[in-house]
Amino acid sequence: MGHGKIDFGEYLHQLRTEHKLSQKIVADKLGIDISMLSKIEHGERQVQSHMLIPVAELFDLDYKEIQIQLLNQKIDEQFGNEPFFNEAIKKIAELKNKK
């Protein structure tokens, strides 16, 4: 990844190993199979938004924080190298704040 941020799949792998949980337990909680979880942990597949609440519950994390982390990764991957990235982010934030 571009700016030294951790990949969400790596983050999930770290959480799982720190909590000494098997891939089966985590996969079951997320409603996916072990193969899909492995692909997510290895960066071959993306975590889907609907998986964040089960991740937060399983690891006793703040849902808002992990959603922000996932959004940061997705936005950075998609648009992080665009020349006017910072200006665009500021503008969208201003527009959202007016609502």
Does residue 2 sit within a domain?
no
* Structural domains of the chain, count: 1
Does residue 40 sit within a domain?
yes
Q: Which residue has the higher pLDDT, 58 or 1?
A: 58
Question: At 76, which CATH number?
Answer: 1.10.260.40
pLDDT at position 74 is: 86
Contact 58, 26 (CB under 8 A): yes
| Segments in 1-99 forming alpha helices (H) | 8-18, 23-30, 34-41, 52-59, 63-79, 85-98
Tokens 């992080």: give the residue.
Answer: 80
Which pLDDT band holds residue 1 (cuts at 50, 70, 90)? very low
Tokens 């690891």: give the residue.
Answer: 59
Could you read off the pLDDT of 24-71 as tens digits, one per residue? 999 999 999 999 999 999 999 988 889 999 999 999 999 998 898 888
pLDDT at position 6 is: 65
pTM of the complete model: 0.76
Q: Which two tokens stand for residue 59?
A: 């690891």
Domain that holds residue 88: 8-98
Could you read off the pLDDT of 58-77 as tens digits, one per residue? 999 999 988 988 888 889 88
Does residue 22 sit within a domain?
yes
